[in-house]
Structure 1
Amino acid sequence: MIPDLVIFDCDGVLVDSEPISNQTIADALSEMGVSCTLEETMAAFVGKSMAQVAEGVRAMGAELPGSDADWIDSIYAQTYARLRAGVDPIPGVTAVLDALDAAGVPYCVASNGSDEKMDITLGATGMAERFRGKRFSAQTLGVSKPDPDLFFIAAQYMSTVPGRAVVIEDSASGALGAQRAGMRCFGYAPTDGAALEAVGAEIFRSMDQLPALLGLPH
Structure 2
Amino acid sequence: MSPAAVAIIVSGASAAFTLANMLISAATFRRGGPRVKLHVRFRASLKSPFLSVEDPTTWRGYLHVHVRNRSSVSVEVENVRIVPSTVLMVAFWPFIVNKEALNSYANLIFFPSTARFLQGEEKTKVEAWGGARWVLDEDVTTRARPEKWVARLLLFRVRITLTNGREIHSRPMLYLKARRLNTAVYQHLERVTAKQKREEAPTLDDALLELEREQKTQGSS
* TM-score range for the pair, normalised by the shorter chain length: under 0.3
Bigger relative contact order, structure 1 or 2, given CA contacts below 8 A and separation 6+? Answer: 1
Q: TM-score, normalised by structure 1?
A: 0.24
The structure with more radius of gyration: 2
Q: TM-score, normalised by structure 2?
A: 0.24
